[in-house]
Amino acid sequence: MGKSVKDLEDVTIRFAGDSGDGMQLAGTQFTTATAMVGNDLSTFPDYPAEIRAPAGTTYGVSGFQIRFGATDILTPGDLCDVLVAMNPAALKVNLKLLRPGGIIIANVDGFTEKNLKLAGYTSNPLEDGSLRQYEVYPINITKLTEATLEDLKLSPKVVDRTKNFFALGLMFWMFSRPMEPTIEWITKRFAKEPALVEANLRVLRAGYHYGDSTEIFTSRYRVKPAPLPPGKYRNISGNEAVALGLIAAAHRAHLQLFLGSYPITPASDILHELSRYRAYDVKTFQAEDEIAGITSAIGASFAGALAATTTSGPGLSLKLEALGLAVMTELPLIVIDVQRGGPSTGLPTKTEQGDLLQAMYGRHGEAPLPVLAARSPADCFDTVFEGARIALKYMTPVIVLTDGYLGNGSEPWRIPNPNDLPDLTPSFSTDPSTFKPYLRDEKTLARPWALPGTPGLEHRIGGLEKKHIDGTISYDPDNHDLMVRLREEKIERIVNDIPPQTVDGDEEGELLVVGWGSTYGAIRSAVHRKRSEGKSVSHLHIRYLNPFPRNLGEILYRFKHILVVEINRGQLLKLLRAKYLVPALGYHRVAGLPIPSVNIEQRIDEILRGER
Amino acid sequence: MDTVEHDVQSVPSVKYTARDFQSDQDVRWCPGCGDYAILAQVQRVLPELGIPKEKYVIVSGIGCSSRFPYYMSTYGVHGIHGRATAIATGVKLANPDLSVWVATGDGDGLSIGGNHLVHICRRNVDVNILLFNNEIYGLTKGQYSPTSRYGQITRSSPMGNIDHPFNPVLLALGAEATFVARTMDRDQKHLHDVLKRAAEHKGTSFVEIYQNCVVFNDGAFAIFTDKETKDENVVYLEHGKPLIFGKERDKGIRLENHRPVVVSLKDGKYGPDDLLHYDEKDPGLAYTVALMSNYPGMPRPVGVFVDVQRNVYEQDLLNQIKSAKQKYGEPTLEALFNAGDTWEIK
């Protein structure tokens, strides 16, 4: 059957269904196949806090969005081109995310009276003409799946669970993706249950062939490979990248890795991932609570491990007192905060940038420490590695901020050559004739690291203020003032050891859009579009939030207007205004979702028009 | 399973004395504080264990007892309130070759740090925990603690304490600690012997030490420590031996209907063979005997309640690392990075 093939620059697909419909699985399989084709891509899993919310309800809808293209893909897309809706609730929740004229693949069999009612529809949208502005393909996915498996005599429950592969197969056909990676995955996953291998493969192929043979689709699409820099790639989520970054840092430092962690959404995957790597001298310790997570890590650091703790906002709050101890004892420690919607339990599975000020100032006493933020899933690797470098070199706790969107989202990662990663090997004190616990390195002001087990270097550290150089307890007022200043200066000196701030676009001009963390892709897209319209707009994205790069102020002063875009109520905005006394403006949307780049474009236009 | 046997290396190159474990810091506890006696015994016991001095790490939380590490010339961490056991866990897991000790108190270990205490016990990390129990908050000047007695008048309970106190031994037994003991600051010989046994035990050792606070709760344990009263009010637990006490060694403990009762050995009705013979390997018995503290008229049991063996946490961790290495070979970052589906762009 001759069907036309159309070339597209980039496409955004959203798979949506009940929490138990296997939409996350369909999405990740589609992602793998897309990566193999060589497209650039960005994914955004969007799922509810409930594990299995009641079927058919709007709050039980689980979505997975992937954008892929023949060009540089910076975000998972504001609006999608194709919406796969397994039931009415999935349609209801996601329709506003579909662009006008977009494609809807609807599982007609899911649009039962009961499900329509649960989703709050009074009439069937597939029939009442309300979807006129979209290209709607109502397909009997459930019935076709059942027919495909009829002779296998499987339980209805098992049959129902395979229908996501029908939708996936259809999408593979529609966008000319290879099925091999998924076939391989199914074969491996169900190796012990041949009947399930057979069932899932059949349904996957049935979906693919349905697209090919049915009359309703007149064309399919092709998205050519993206011109990514040469190299070997794999798809990676932010949480995976954090785990690999920690292992890489430990290996390059020739230290064992210790992770003290308590499960918390959306950071738990880092604990899961690291617990698989015992062979890499990774000691994961699932602690009894967040506090034991960080304090065990402090103990491990004292004993000579590269120590880390992973958490999200509420967990960071519980760790703050212990962070004071880490600052006081000047031990290396990496704290990773995968931010989520807050305060309190807030929106635990959604994303936010609400913890910046907590990371900067959430401590008792004067307790400065370095704060870094990753800007994309793959960048989590580099940011964590850099955090470890700073922690080891400056003997300090470091906070690395990522967020739920980065942690769960994924993109292609150009696999680095391990030998190109800097060597992080610390030097431990061994000489009793010169050792003093707080005798600082002249350049970095770091104190020496002397490991228990080293003869002659027995010393005590702790939360009480210590005498400069000596390290004995000191209540002397001048000594405390000196130590407060030394701890501060140590962190400030890191500025000499980090790259200068760069700008995407002109180095001066009308408007500078400033961001940090996961807003990177959205801001970059928005700024590129405005620049292509000839507007004087540049983008500055900050990785080093404390200390700020030395040249940050000069750059800010060269622009007439500054716009700070954040998924919070203006936390970086406050820091920049306070430090540089610039009249910066903000754009904030705290919706638990990435900020759409179109919103940023609108705000840019407003400011350029002279509106505030 | 192929196991790694791990013992803190015990080949000291020099012989130590107690003096070798004294730090150059002035000890700042109140004159007459029971902590002095405990410090002296720890400094006496450590040289006897045959472990090089640099392998000792003493970890504490916050409170009077938690100043302990500063007075020892070993490695030490003075942590934050309640978290000593969690810090110690990290130290021990990172380097199982260290001999790790925790000095904590009834407030630090049972109130703010109660959670970490029960979890280290159930995990059986090889750490020695010394809980200095003075039944009062000392460093914050005299509020009731989780072991203060019901009705006790303190600065924060002027009308009497209405909290039911923890029995620390029961708590440790409930958390299935593998070594649980009680001793007293004023019984130096017993304290010494219990500390030594705690050190020699593989797995978490929990030692409750009755410790007199001269300022805020003086005499709390006087009936158990004063010459005139202690024999009538303390019964020492010894493995395999009958529970006998009294100035004349004329009283004993029998189990009747699973409950300990005091019987006289004078009237000829009962002899030593009729008494409860203690068994450190029986946690159920330990629980029953530990409950004696709750019954009026019973002597206070002191000694080793249990000494049993169970998988040691850091041992299991090392075994997992070893078997993972056997399975996957010596790992490289190259292999780690390139795992899973990859593709090449030319």
Number of Cβ within a 10 Å radius of residue A286? 14
In this structure, are residues A411 and A236 in contact, taking their beta carbons and an 8 Å threshold? yes
**Is there a contact between B80 and A325 if contact means CB atoms under 8 Å apart?**
yes
**Is there a contact between B79 and A295 if contact means CB atoms under 8 Å apart?**
yes
State pLDDT tens for residues B166-222.
999 999 999 999 999 999 999 999 999 999 999 999 999 999 999 999 999 999 999
Spell out which residues of chain B touch residue A229, defining contact as CB-CB under 8 Å. Answer: 345
CA A428/CA A537 separation, integer angstroms: 48
Q: Is B14 near chain A, with CB under 8 Å?
A: no
Give me the mean pLDDT over the A236-249 stretch: 98
State pLDDT tens for residues A80-95.
999 999 999 999 999 9
Model confidence at B3: pLDDT above 80: no
Q: Is B186 near chain A, with CB under 8 Å?
A: no
Find the range with the poorest average confidence among A54-63, A246-255, A486-495, B121-130: A54-63
Residues 290-329 of A with CB under 8 A from B: 291-292, 295-305, 307, 321-322, 324-325, 329
What is the separation, in whole angstroms, between the first and last Cα of chain A? Answer: 57
Give me the mean pLDDT over the A232-251 stretch: 97
CA B337/CA A511 separation, integer angstroms: 40
CA B89/CA B97 separation, integer angstroms: 13
Spell out which residues of chain A touch residue B97, defining contact as CB-CB under 8 Å. Answer: 453
Model confidence at A265: pLDDT above 90: yes
Cα B263 to Cα A319, B131, B288, B289, distances in angstroms: 53, 32, 17, 15
Model confidence at A134: pLDDT above 90: yes
Number of Cβ within a 10 Å radius of residue B76? 26
Q: Which residues pair with B100 in a beta bridge?
A: B57, B127
Nearest CA-CA distance, residue B168 and chain A, Å:
20
Query: Any residues with CB less than 8 A from the CB of B338 and at least 6 apart, and which?
Result: A232, A234, A415
From the number of C-beta atoms within 10 Å of its C-beta (0-12, 13-18, 19+), residue A131 rates as middle
Model confidence at A269: pLDDT above 50: yes
Model confidence at B2: pLDDT above 60: no
State pLDDT tens for residues A191-230.
999 999 999 999 999 999 999 898 888 889 999 999 989 9
* Phi and psi torsions of B278, nearest 5°: -75, 145
pLDDT, position B114? 98
In which band, very low, low, confident or very high, does the pLDDT at A4 lie, cut at 50, 70 and 90?
confident
In this structure, are residues A538 and A559 in contact, taking their beta carbons and an 8 Å threshold? yes
State pLDDT tens for residues A272-302.
999 999 999 999 999 999 999 999 999 999 9
**Is there a contact between A260 and B90 if contact means CB atoms under 8 Å apart?**
yes
The DSSP string of B107-163 is HIIIIITHHHHHHHHHHT-SEEEEEEE-SS-TTTTS---TTSPTT--BTTBTT---S
Give me the mean pLDDT over the B115-126 stretch: 98
Model confidence at A534: pLDDT above 60: yes
What is the separation, in whole angstroms, between the first and last Cα of chain B? Answer: 46
Spell out which residues of chain A touch residue B340, defining contact as CB-CB under 8 Å. Answer: 234
In a 13 Å sphere around the CA of A518, the CA atoms on its Cβ side amount to 36
**Is there a contact between A324 and B80 if contact means CB atoms under 8 Å apart?**
yes
ipTM exceeding 0.90, yes/no: yes
Give me the mean pLDDT over the A36-49 stretch: 90
| Nearest partner of B284 among B185, B146, B174, judged by Cα | B174
- Select the residue of B75, B78, B337 nearest A415 (Cβ to Cβ): B337
Q: Is B2 near chain A, with CB under 8 Å?
A: no
In this structure, are residues A374 and A517 in contact, taking their beta carbons and an 8 Å threshold? yes
Nearest CA-CA distance, residue B23 and chain A, Å:
9
In which band, very low, low, confident or very high, does the pLDDT at B9 lie, cut at 50, 70 and 90?
low
**Is there a contact between B333 and A322 if contact means CB atoms under 8 Å apart?**
no
Spell out which residues of chain A touch residue B329, defining contact as CB-CB under 8 Å. Answer: 279
From the number of C-beta atoms within 10 Å of its C-beta (0-12, 13-18, 19+), residue A338 rates as buried
State pLDDT tens for residues A90-121.
999 999 999 999 999 999 999 999 999 999 99
The DSSP string of A215-227 is SS--EEEEEPPP-
